[in-house]
Amino acid sequence: MLKDKIQALAKDIHGDVVRHRRHLHANPELSFEEYQTSAYVKSALDELGIEWTAMANTGVVGVIRGDIPSEAVVALRADMDALPIKEANDVPYRSNNEGVMHACGHDVHTSSLLGTAKILQHLKSDFAGTIKLIFQPAEEKLPGGASLMIKEGVLENPKPQAVIGQHVMPLIDAGKIGIRSGKYMASTDELYVTVTGKGGHGAQPQQNIDPVVITAHIIIALQQIVSRFADPKLPTVLSFGKIIANGATNVIPNEVYLEGTFRTLNEEWRAEAHKKMKKMAEGIAESMGANCEFKIVNGYPFLVNEEALTAQVRGFAENYLGKENVEDLDIWMAAEDFAYYSQAADACFYRLGIRNEARGITSSVHTPTFDIDESALATSTGLMAYIALKRLGN
């Protein structure tokens, strides 16, 4: 049976995948700078006899064609970049690149996809269909490696009918996965706002235009975008995490600077909300004699798991891992550049459990103590190979 074969192979290559993961973890590179990582992936593919092409500078795309003729194509995606975080773990595979750390598990995704590639390459003579292996740069940094890979044609020649990705999740135990059909993650836009008034002595407000009070009005009023304008059935978040009004107890500053984030799950509403926020902030400032510059930097779109594909993937996962090891996920208002694939093709993005509470492996992603239970690397490699081959009709 295909499942037993893959499970046995995943077990056989587990040591290999751990070695890949530890090498990548010890040698993390920032977004768009994944030169060593990219070279490592290329040489690992060469060793497996898998043809590849380079894309988006540090990106790599491998192709495995099953020996049985078929037009079906599935793409599997991993991201390769690390974060500007100083690792606090005392482990043998600790980061050698001071101040840079694989704190989002992209080392896990890349090593897992190399493992999946090894399994698939081994089974090549037995299956029909083509598998594209996407190793992309820069998930953590705008404009996102995925958008560049798509622009450079990663979803063409051959065109995949499905794109599948996985991401570590510290809330789920190793050996399990989480999945959600439909809208799953949010679009995320960055807001940069400057309110300019007229500074002066705090004792003479009548001679100044106080940008601090005006900014306070703007912040409160903008929450009505969420509470009064957004459809209550549609998740919307607006948060300002940075406010700089650099005056003093008795000094009113000339300007106040704000940074925030706007997140939602609908492209039309996203565009409309941008216009409304800008108009409201500029209007309030103007009515109070100040000026407001409201800059929005578009981030990733929302991520949607195509329903038919996701139902299939869930079924394959239940079959491979057992029903009790496939959990339901809630909507999560974080962003992920896999969303670009989901906007361009049928896509499914699921979560890989890596938690082991007994061993104290519980830290969130993007923290200096993030780590994984490496037994998850046997789940990740085999499951993805199984999903790919089943989806290709094997």
List residues near Zn ion by CB under 5 A. 104
Which residue's CB is nearer to Zn ion, number 84 or number 393? 84
Shortest Å distance, C-beta 60 to Zn ion: 18
Q: Taking every pair of C-alpha atoms in the chain, what is the biggest distance, in angstroms?
A: 83
Which entry of 81, 189, 282, 336 is annotated as an active-site residue?
A: 81
Report the C-alpha gap between 107 and 94 in whole angstroms: 12
71 has catalytic annotation: no
Closest distance of CB 180 from Zn ion, Å: 17
Q: Which is nearer to Zn ion, 119 or 138 (CB)?
A: 138
Alpha helices in 90-175 (DSSP H): 106-123, 145-151
Enumerate residues 6+ apart whose C-beta is below 8 A from 122.
9
Q: What's the min distance (Å) between Cβ of 16 and Zn ion?
A: 23
Do residues 182 and 380 touch, judged by C-beta distance below 8 A?
Answer: no
Q: In angstroms, what is the minimal distance from the CB of 365 to Zn ion?
A: 6
Nearest to 316 by CA among 171, 200, 166: 166
* Cβ nearer to Zn ion, comparing 169 with 265: 169
**How near is the Cβ of 185 to Zn ion at its closest, in Å?**
11
Q: Whose Cβ is closer to Zn ion: residue 104's or residue 119's?
A: 104
Nearest CA to 105 among 394, 393, 387, 371?
371
**Partners of 303 in the beta sheet?**
185
Nearer to Zn ion, 210 or 373 (CB): 373
What distance in Å separates the CA atoms of residue 12 and residue 76, rounded to the nearest whole number? Answer: 21
Catalytic pick from 107, 139, 336, 337? 139
Q: Which is nearer to Zn ion, 118 or 167 (CB)?
A: 167
- The CA distance from 266 to 287, in Å, is 31
Rounded to a whole number of angstroms, the minimum distance from the CB of residue 104 to Zn ion is 3
CA distance 325 to 177: 6
Minimum CB separation of residue 140 from Zn ion in Å reads 5
Nearest distance, CB of residue 72 and Zn ion, angstroms? 28
| 17/54 Cα distance (integer angstroms) | 22
Residue among 304, 301, 298 at smallest CA distance from 261: 298
> Quick one: 80 or 218, whose CB is closer to Zn ion?
80
Q: Using the CB atoms, write b or e for 256-271: b if 16+ within 10 Å.
A: bbbebbbbbbbeebbe
Residue 24 CA to residue 324 CA, distance in Å, equals 31
- Identify whether the C-beta of residue 392 lies closer than 8 Å to the C-beta of residue 129: yes
d(CA 301, CA 313): 23
HSE (CB half, 13 Å, CA atoms) of 285? 24
Query: Catalytic annotation on 139?
Result: yes
In terms of residues, how long is the chain?
A: 394
Which lies closer to Zn ion via its Cβ, residue 99 or residue 322? Answer: 99
Nearest to 113 by CA among 386, 343, 380: 380
CA angle 60, 62, 68 (to 5 degrees): 170
- Residues with a catalytic annotation lie at 81, 139
